[in-house]
């Protein structure tokens, strides 16, 4: 009897345990369905909002109702939206307002203490609209409620940073270029092209490639002789004289510009003469020599070179243009020199300390009766054809010039 009772207790316990298990399973299943249903109910067009986390802690929201979010009831969690509405909403975002945008900037190179150094890049807040659109669509389809624009690469980044190999290479190239030192030495002119000049011709393009401004280099070549305010570097057209135009000369600006750029690219330290447009330098210096007087009648200025070096220069007064006494253009030779002479003409007698004739009765001399030289005096109050010079200029030429040396007169 006791055994039967014991068996019944055991059976009753098993039944109770099984029922308890069923209750637990039922409750679990019920909770699971409830949560799932709740999730589907919460993610609706009316309550769905996508938050955009922007730089500086700024947040903007795109609501489901603004873009026509819908769910496919037959296939849970498949989300659709109105692309036209989405495009309009994105266009209205504050982060795309052009008035609030500053662009990222590449690392730059600047000249400092005789060399180039790198300035770090700058990160801006300009949005790549295509990337932003793709990330927003991706978030909507996934049911995500937040996008961090920086971590999803929505911002435009600098193309080149301070650690970019292209920037390092550009720095090395720039420093090579400014290490060049080209010395021009001719006709008494010494001109240096070094870092202080070269740096103004250099640049770096959008691909971090070093550039040399050929236009600026050519401007320099065109004014190579500006240190002496002379006519070196431009064509001297001599129409008269014993040998006509044979002594005209010109620096070939185009070819010399190319040559100078090549010197800089090679980082050279050299002394050179410019490239002449004549077949050789001899066409000028061998014929005229390196000792000559240069008279620019347009500028009313004289330069005297001896053995290629400038001895003296100064303003002058040439022949009176209005009276028809213009000093003749041409390449001539001094055929005499005399101290303390009196120059005589039909209507004048003029004592001079230094007289150096070069064509007919026209010559170079001092003019103690003049207090000023240069400018436009020659047009209405010039000489009878001679070159009037200040005492110190005439003296310096007289003491150094030899009979047979050349004088070049041109406009």
Is 118 in contact with 213 (CB distance < 8 Å)? no
Name, in order, each residue with C-beta under 8 angstroms of 256's C-beta and a sequence gap of 6 or more.
Answer: 221, 274, 275
* Residue 36 to residues 30, 32, 53, 75, 183, Cα–Cα distance (Å): 10, 6, 28, 14, 85
Concerning whether 365 is annotated as a catalytic residue, the answer is: yes
Annotated catalytic residue, options 95, 154, 386, 409: 386
Radius of gyration, alpha carbons of the chain: 45
> Which residue out of 154, 365, 384, 409 is catalytically annotated?
365
Distance, CA of 162 to CA of 253 (rounded, Å): 38
409 counts as catalytic: no
d(CA 328, CA 139): 89
Q: In b/e form, how buried is each residue of 325-359, taking b as 16+ CB within 10 angstroms?
A: bbbbbbbbbbeebeeebebeeeeeebebbbbbbbb
Alpha-carbon dihedral 229, 230, 231, 232, rounded to 10 degrees: -100
Place of tokens 């400092």: 112
For tokens 């036209």, the residue is: 84
Please identify every residue annotated as catalytic: 365, 386
């Amino acid at each position: 009897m006791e055994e039967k009772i014991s068996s019944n207790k055991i059976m009753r316990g098993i039944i109770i345990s099984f029922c308890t298990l069923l209750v637990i399973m039922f409750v679990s299943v019920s909770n699971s369905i409830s949560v799932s249903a709740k999730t589907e109910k919460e993610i609706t067009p009316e309550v769905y909002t996508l938050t955009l986390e922007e730089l500086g802690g700024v947040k903007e929201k795109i609501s489901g109702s603004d873009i026509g979010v819908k769910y496919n009831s037959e296939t849970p969690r498949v989300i659709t939206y109105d692309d036209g509405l989405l495009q309009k909403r994105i266009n209205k975002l504050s982060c795309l307002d052009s008035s609030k945008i500053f662009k990222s900037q590449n690392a730059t190179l600047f000249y400092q203490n005789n060399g180039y150094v790198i300035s770090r890049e700058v990160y801006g807040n300009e949005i790549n609209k295509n990337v932003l659109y793709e990330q927003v669509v991706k978030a909507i389809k996934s049911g995500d409620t937040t996008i961090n624009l920086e971590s999803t690469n929505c911002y435009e980044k600098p193309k080149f940073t301070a650690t970019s190999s292209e920037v390092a290479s550009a720095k090395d190239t720039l420093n090579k270029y400014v290490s060049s030192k080209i010395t021009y030495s001719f006709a008494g002119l010494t001109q240096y092209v070094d870092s202080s000049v070269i740096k103004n011709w250099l640049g770096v393009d959008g691909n971090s490639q070093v550039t040399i401004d050929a236009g600026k280099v050519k401007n320099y070549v065109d004014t190579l002789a500006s240190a002496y305010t002379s006519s070196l570097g431009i064509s001297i057209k001599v129409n008269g004289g014993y040998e006509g135009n044979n002594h005209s000369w010109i620096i070939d600006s185009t070819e010399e510009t190319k040559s100078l750029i090549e010197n800089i690219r090679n980082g050279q330290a050299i002394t050179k003469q410019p490239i002449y447009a004549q077949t050789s330098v001899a066409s000028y210096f061998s014929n005229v020599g390196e000792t000559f007087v240069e008279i620019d009648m347009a500028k009313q200025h004289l330069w005297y070179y001896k053995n290629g070096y400038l001895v003296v220069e100064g303003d002058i007064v040439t022949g009176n243009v209005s009276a028809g006494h213009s000093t003749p253009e041409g390449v001539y030779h001094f055929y005499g020199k005399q101290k303390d002479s009196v120059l005589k003409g039909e209507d004048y007698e003029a004592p001079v300390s230094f007289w150096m004739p070069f064509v007919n009765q026209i010559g170079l001399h001092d003019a103690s009766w003049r207090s000023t030289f240069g400018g436009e005096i020659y047009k209405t109050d010039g000489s009878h054809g001679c070159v009037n010079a200040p005492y110190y200029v005439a003296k310096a030429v007289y003491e150094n010039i030899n009979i047979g040396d050349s004088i070049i007169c041109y406009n």
